């Protein structure tokens, strides 16, 4: 069976055509298709490697270029299977579908995760995309079970889902990233009609607006709450340059999360919040010309500061959805920015060469500079949101 699987993957690699190399003068539609074809080839090779490693999923590469893998417990476990589902959607290749199913199955046990908020990332990106493309009945059950698990972390007094179990000396930290996990709850609400899921998601989004955002519409990374009074005790950072800085990926999480919540609820305050975040990011004086943010908008060593391709990919994907909910002039602006970001990410400055970069797609992402972890490396979530953005723009252009 192992050798059969490896043979299948080799056929995928051979069968996927690669269009001519990126050019600044290339038509955007050609760039999108070429990047998707390239991504499919890279991930077929990465998938072949993962088939040799039972119960493992890719995370990144070491400084020496060695593949680093994790099991399903790591918060990024759902991104690789989710990317495979998108690439199957693009290629219609049944072998990529089989690979997506196999990697998705490796994440299933996380439907019972109650000790962190990341079950939304884990399950929605993998099983959510799988369900969207296959309508497989068993995937419904996984998503609903996972949403129930996530709901156990909601405290009605605080009105927010607890992120980590502890941060420094605080026992109820909530991070801006948590906005991304609300889509799992909204999916479960649509499937079951159980208003509990809806009310938890809306409460979390409403209280995030109140507590996480500054007057300039940038976001704190971590807000820690008193479990007795429900009030915020401290506003800090874990991955940003400083407590008061605008950590780039955090701003992108907020942009994406509030855009998604507007889609699911049509509550105007969420659309307004998404627009305010988008304008903060787009108009920031430290946004580089190629529109791929520095890892923190207030990083002390700009312009030498590291870029974060993951922040650029998340931002592009969010803008491509947000543009359809706003007036025509604003929508064109968002579309133009996202298009520039995708051109930048598809260029040799950020996209790997074939067969390199551990067979990940994008280079130059940043996990945590303060934590000295995953600095200037490929990351599965950068690839996931890049692929998603490519697919979204492709649909806008009519394929």
Contact (CB, 8 A) for 306 and 292? no
Q: What is the DSSP string of 92-160?
A: --HHHHHHHHHHHHTTGGGGG--SSTTHHHHHIIIIIHHHHHH--HHHHHHHHHHHHHHHTTEETTTTE
- Residue 351 DSSP code: B
**Residue 357 has which token pair?**
């970069």
Compute the distance between CA of residue 150 and CA of residue 154 in angstroms, rounded to an integer: 8
Residue 55 falls in the annotated catalytic set: no
Peptide bond into 211 cis (omega under 30): no
**What is the b/e burial string over 125-141, where b = at least 16 CB atoms within 10 angstroms of the residue's CB?**
bbbbbbbeebeeeebbe
Contact (CB, 8 A) for 254 and 204? no
Compute the distance between CA of residue 204 and CA of residue 210 in angstroms, rounded to an integer: 10
Compute the distance between CA of residue 182 and CA of residue 55 in angstroms, rounded to an integer: 27
Compute the distance between CA of residue 361 and CA of residue 358 in angstroms, rounded to an integer: 9
What's the number of CA atoms in the CB half-sphere (13 Å) around residue 29?
5
Compute the distance between CA of residue 318 and CA of residue 312 in angstroms, rounded to an integer: 10
- Give the residue carrying structure tokens 């598809």: 346
Compute the distance between CA of residue 382 and CA of residue 91 in angstroms, rounded to an integer: 20
Question: Which among 177, 296, 308, 383 is annotated as catalytic?
Answer: 177
Residue 376 falls in the annotated catalytic set: no
Question: Which among 118, 296, 308, 383 is annotated as catalytic?
Answer: 118
Residues annotated as part of the active site: 118, 177
């Amino acid at each position: 069976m192992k050798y059969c699987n490896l043979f299948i993957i080799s056929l995928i690699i051979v069968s996927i055509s690669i269009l001519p190399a990126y050019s600044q003068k290339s038509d955007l539609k050609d760039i999108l298709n070429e990047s998707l074809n390239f991504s499919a080839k890279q991930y077929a090779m990465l998938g072949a490697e993962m088939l040799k490693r039972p119960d493992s999923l890719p995370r990144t590469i070491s400084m020496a270029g060695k593949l680093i893998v994790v099991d399903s417990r790591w918060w990024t476990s759902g991104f690789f299977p989710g990317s495979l589902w998108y690439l199957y959607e693009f290629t219609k290749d049944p072998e990529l579908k089989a690979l997506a199913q196999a990697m998705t199955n490796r994440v299933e046990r996380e439907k019972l995760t109650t000790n962190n908020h990341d079950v939304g990332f884990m399950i929605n990106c993998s099983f959510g995309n799988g369900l969207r493309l296959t309508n497989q009945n068993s995937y419904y059950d996984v998503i609903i079970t996972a949403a129930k698990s996530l709901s156990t972390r909601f405290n009605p007094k605080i009105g927010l889902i607890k992120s980590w179990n502890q941060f420094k000396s605080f026992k109820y930290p909530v991070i801006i990233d948590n906005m991304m996990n609300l889509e799992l709850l909204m999916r479960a609400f649509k499937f079951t009609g159980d208003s509990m899921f809806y009310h938890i998601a809306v409460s979390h989004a409403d209280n995030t607006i109140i507590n996480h955002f500054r007057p300039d519409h940038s976001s704190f990374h971590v807000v820690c709450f008193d479990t007795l009074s429900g009030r915020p005790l401290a506003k800090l950072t874990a991955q940003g340059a400083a407590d008061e800085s605008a950590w780039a990926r955090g701003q992108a999480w907020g942009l994406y999360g509030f855009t998604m919540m507007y889609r699911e609820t049509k509550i105007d305050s969420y659309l307004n919040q998404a627009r305010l975040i988008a304008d903060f990011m787009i108009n920031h004086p430290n946004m580089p010309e190629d529109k791929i943010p520095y890892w923190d908008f207030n990083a002390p060593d700009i312009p030498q500061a590291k870029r974060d391709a993951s922040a650029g990919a998340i931002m592009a994907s969010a803008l491509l959805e947000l543009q359809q909910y706003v007036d025509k002039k604003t929508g064109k602006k968002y579309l133009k920015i996202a298009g520039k970001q995708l051109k930048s990410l598809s260029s040799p400055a950020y996209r790997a060469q074939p067969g390199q970069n551990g067979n990940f797609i994008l280079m130059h992402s940043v996990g945590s500079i303060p934590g000295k972890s995953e600095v200037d490396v490929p990351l599965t979530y950068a690839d996931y949101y890049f692929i998603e953005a490519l697919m979204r723009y492709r649909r806008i252009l009519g394929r």
